[in-house]
Chains A and B, each alone.
Chain A
Amino acid sequence: MPDNHLLSLARQSEQLDISIINGRIIDPANQIDSHTDIHIQNGKILALGQAPDGFKAQKVIDATDRLVCPGLVDMRVRLREPGFETKGTIASETRAAAAGGVTSLCCPPDTNPIIDNAAMVKLIRLKAATEGVAKVYTLSALTQQLKGEKLSEMRELKDAGCVGTTNALTPVKSTLIMRRALEYAASHNITVFIHPFDPWLSDGCAHEGVVSTRLGLAGIPESAETIAIARDLQLIELIGGRVHFCQLSSAGSIQLIRQAQEAGLPVTADVTAHHLHLTEMDIGFFDSNCHVLPPLRTQRDMEALRHGVQSDILSCIVSDHQPHDSDAKLAPFAETEPGISGIETLLPLALKLIDSQNMSLMEVISRLTIQPARILNIAEGTLSTGQDADICIFDPEAYWRVEKEKFLSKGKNTPFHGWELKGQVEYTIKTGEIVFSRK
């Protein structure tokens, strides 16, 4: 929780007592799916259904034909601040988050400086409180400077507010150090977030397969991911402790996670929205907007990932939001920086699974709210009374065309430019404050 003296500096919040009426409320945490009203007072959820006696809304939002769900929880968002402010700032990217219906987000420690000390955590929390419009959580660096050599002070970082720890995109090469890190994290009940990359097989920029061969791009084989997962699963079996595998990209990885979950290991995993809809073929003739890590793989992998979300092996969908300045993508493919500005397309891309996988709205929303919140061990992601009023209201039937120029994010790097998507955010409310409204 933020220190009191930090809160006193906070941006003047415009909390309102709000009634959202006539909407269809979906709250997977409480298994609610009903047409009813919801009332907000002092930034908290006051009641569902009838307004309590004496409650007077300062604002009434008519949500007829709209869906009302908990504000989305996006487990992986690069705000780019501090260190890379030409790509994004806490101010710009939390506004992009709000436009995407996201009220809570978690940023990895690969800022500059790296989040491997408590002062950095406090700085980011302060900035988020004073300049941001979304709740910002942080993960601590697993090792000092992400070098994979010495453990970070992960307990102190936890006490400073980090909700987990990770070595981000830098693999921990030494199996011994990985073992020690997992042991130490488990001792303090800290969840470890792992990006599975075998350091020796990952030195490429596209999936090793038909497209990388055709284009002459250095490939990253599927085994770069499965080998890393297999190693770490063996360590988890030895040690225990909560581990979450980040943005899986291949069918083989799903298989490994499924086996581990069936064997009772405490592991979870997620997938990015773009890996659910793009394959290596989308690189076409070197489209640098499709340069992502892990790489886009085959149709078969994409289908396995979708199925993984459906069967809950992959319990969260993340944006892996990585805004870039335009120069970062203006170079020959391998020289461009990987990543997609994805937070403003997260919800509609996830909703596509309703049609493609026959998933229910409740199931899809759960992957975007309560399930990531549980993994991050935070109280958000629900509409339970008494909780912070973090709410997303969207029109599930609205079609809209993605226009990168209209992104609130500083990063216009999206491969979805020009796509027609279904499902558009209309209001985003964070602790009772309307932080985004389309009208």
Chain B
Amino acid sequence: MITKNIQLDEQGRLKHFLSIEGFKRQHLISILDAAEPFANVQEQAVKKVPLLRGKTIVNLFFEASTRTRTTFELAAKRLSADVLNININTSATKKGESLLDMLHNLESMHCDMFVVRHNQSGAAHFIAQHVSPHISVINAGDGCHSHPSQAMLDMFTIRRHKKDFANLKVVIVGDILHSRVARSEMHALTTLGVSEIRVVGPKTLIPTGIDTFGVHVYHNLQEALVDADVIIMLRLQKERMQGALLPSEGEYYQHYGLTEKKLAYAKPDAIVMHPGPINRGVEIASSIADGPQSVILEQVTNGIAIRMAVMSQALGPGGSDSSRTGVNA
């Protein structure tokens, strides 16, 4: 049984960032705090800081991604690291090379960090357990399991708008079953002390035992939206439409799509979030996605700051400068 939290090193500092599960409140707060100065760096004319000069970061993407990969790349570059992008769809695993062989090859090129996205749950844990000890692994999404940097950038965005987590009502809408974002959000929100989390979707998209995450399950979006402070819409993957999970996009939009009419049930200052990419007219009305309550593009911007914070905590000198944000267990 693997129970040890491999995400922290012996000194209690961030080593790997694989899932929100296993971090305490102060760990998450320290990442959010570390991201604040980086958010400001982005607004300066010279956006680079020299924290990770000489470090090599590999973006190892076994699954297609634009937003996540680009923001990780930008984050690394703004920290002055060298970045290598590898898209494995077109690479060696197609030729039968095993995942571990490929990792060992990259290790021998003296890389310092792997940012990994993979379609199998547990892939990032697996890689972290098998890489040589000097390498940090950041999970950029593994199967249906976890997407911790997405959850943290959402927490960062919520904190900028809502200040205090404790009294929030947060609603997560859509395909909870297949969503690594939803799982990470639920862990992050409960760890940060959010008082009420509601998840909404038809039973076909709600996994068994979800209540053990400390959330309330709704099958009716209007009811769930009453007095909501934060609404997180999830992406509905087109391929999910082909099975027996849902009858049609139209019926889904009718009942679980966010429209102006339904949004009126939430608090007037509620913010609307979406991890992207958006299916307009399936999950959300365009008028809301582009409207005043939407913080969707802000999420993307904040993603760079959060990823800079995570990378610098895992790779930074842990010494003198602003990277001294090491979480203390």
Q: What residues of chain A have their CB less than 8 Å away from a CB belonging to chain B?
A: 208-210, 212-217, 219, 221, 281-287, 290, 327, 330-335, 415
Query: A330-B130, A332-B118, A333-B122 are contacts. A216–B3 as well, Cβ < 8 Å?
Result: no
Kindly state the interface size class of chain B when it binds its partner. Answer: 20 to 34
C-alpha spacing A212/B143, complex, angstroms: 12
B residues near A215, Cβ cutoff 8 Å: 121-122, 145
Inter-chain contact A213/B122, CB cutoff 8 Å: no
Which 5 residue pairs spanning A and B have beta carbons closest together? A216-B144, A216-B145, A286-B122, A332-B120, A216-B121
Residues of A within 8 A of B297 (CB): none
Which residues of B have CB within 8 Å of A331? 98-99, 120, 126
- What 0/1 pattern do residues 30 to 63 of B give for CB contact below 8 A with A? 0000000000000000000000000000000000
Q: Which residues of A contact B209 (CB under 8 A)?
A: 209-210, 213
Q: Enumerate 5 A-B pairs (CB-CB under 8 Å) in ascending A order.
A: A214-B21, A219-B208, A285-B122, A286-B125, A332-B123
B180 at interface by CB-CB < 8 Å: yes
Q: Decide yes or no whether B64 CB sits under 8 A from chain A.
A: no
* Interchain CA distance A333-B213 in the complex, whole Å: 22
Contact B1 A287 (CB under 8 A): yes
Contact A212 B120 (CB under 8 A): no
Verify B125–A213 contact, CB threshold 8 A.
Answer: no
Give the Cβ gap from A392 to chain B, nearest Cβ, in Å.
Answer: 29
Pick from B1, B207, B208: contact of A284, CB under 8 Å: B1
Q: Nearest residue in B to A208 (C-beta to C-beta)?
A: B208
Check B121 against A217 for contact (C-beta < 8 Å): yes
Q: Is the CB of A216 within 8 A of B143?
A: yes
* Residues of chain B within 8 A of A284, CB atoms compared: 1-3
Residues in chain B near residue A330, CB distance under 8 A: 98, 100, 126, 130
Measured CB to CB, the closest approach of chain A to B273, in angstroms, equals 21
Name which of A208, A330, A332 has the most chain B CB atoms within 10 A of its CB.
A332
* B residues near A333, Cβ cutoff 8 Å: 120-122, 126
Q: Verify A332–B130 contact, CB threshold 8 A.
A: no
The CA of A283 and the CA of B125, in the complex, are separated in Å by 13
B residues less than 8 Å from A415 (CB atoms): 1
Which residues of chain B are near A283, meaning CB under 8 Å?
1
Instruction: Tell which of B6, B121, B183, B213 touches A332, judged by Cβ atoms closer than 8 Å.
Output: B121
**Assembly CA distance A216 to B183 (angstroms):** 8
Interface string of B192-210 (1 = CB under 8 A from A): 0000000000000001111
Q: What is the chain A residue whose CB lies nearest that of B19?
A: A285
> B212 near A: Cβ within 8 Å?
yes
- Taken together as a complex, chains A and B put the C-alpha atoms of A283 and B146 apart, in Å, by 16
- Give complex CA distance A209, B162 in Å: 34
Contact, CB under 8 Å: B183 / A214:
yes
Interface residues of B in 112-145 (CB under 8 A from A): 118, 120-123, 125-126, 130, 142-145
Which residues on A sit within 8 Å (CB–CB) of B144? 216-217
Complex Cα distance A330/B100, Å? 8
Contacts of A216 in B (CB 8 A): 121, 142-146, 180, 183
For the complex, give the distance between the alpha carbons of A287 and B1 in Å.
6
Q: How far is the CA of A285 from the CA of B146 in the complex (A)?
A: 12
Q: Given that A210-B209, A216-B180, A219-B208 are known contacts, is A282 also in contact with B100, CB under 8 Å in the complex?
A: no
Q: Which of B1, B121, B146, B212 contacts A290 (CB 8 A)?
A: B1
> Nearest residue in A to B206 (C-beta to C-beta)?
A213
Question: Nearest chain A CB to B297's CB is how many angstroms away?
Answer: 27
Q: Which residues of B131-167 have CB atoms within 8 Å of chain A's CB atoms?
A: 142-146
Give the interface centre of A215, A331, A333 by most chain B CB atoms within 10 Å. A215
Question: A334 to chain B: which residues have CB within 8 Å?
Answer: 120-122, 143
Cβ A332 vs Cβ B98 within 8 A: no
Partner of A286, one of B98, B126, B183: B126
CB distance from B175 to the nearest CB of A (A): 12
Most chain A Cβ neighbours within 10 Å, of B1, B99, B100: B1
Q: Are B207 and A213 in contact (CB under 8 A)?
A: yes
Q: How far is the CA of A332 from the CA of B100 in the complex (A)?
A: 11
Judging by beta carbons under 8 Å apart, are B212 and A335 in contact?
Answer: no
Q: Given A221-B208, A333-B120, A334-B122, 13 more contacts at CB 8 Å?
A: A210-B208, A210-B209, A216-B142, A285-B122, A286-B121, A287-B2, A290-B1, A330-B98, A332-B121, A332-B142, A333-B121, A333-B122, A334-B143
Contact B146 A282, beta carbon cutoff 8 Å: no
Which residue of B is nearest A281, CB measured? B1
- Residues of chain B contacted by A281 (CB below 8 angstroms): 1
Q: Residue on A with the closest CB to B145?
A: A216
Chain A residues with CB under 8 A of B21? 214
Instruction: Find A282's partner among B1, B143, B213 (CB 8 Å cutoff).
Output: B1
Query: Taking CB as reference atom, which chain B residue is nearest A211?
Result: B209
Q: A435 → chain B, closest Cβ, in Å?
A: 33
Most buried by B among A221, A286, A287, A335: A286
**Which chain B residue has the least Cβ–Cβ distance from A418?**
B1
In the assembled complex, the Cα of A216 lies from the Cα of B207 at a distance in Å of 9
Chain B residues within 8 Å of A335, by CB:
120
Inter-chain contacts of A213 with B (CB < 8 A): 207-210, 212-213
Given contacts A216-B146, A216-B183, contact A285 B208 (CB under 8 A): no
Residues of B within 8 A of A332 (CB): 99, 118, 120-123, 126, 142-143
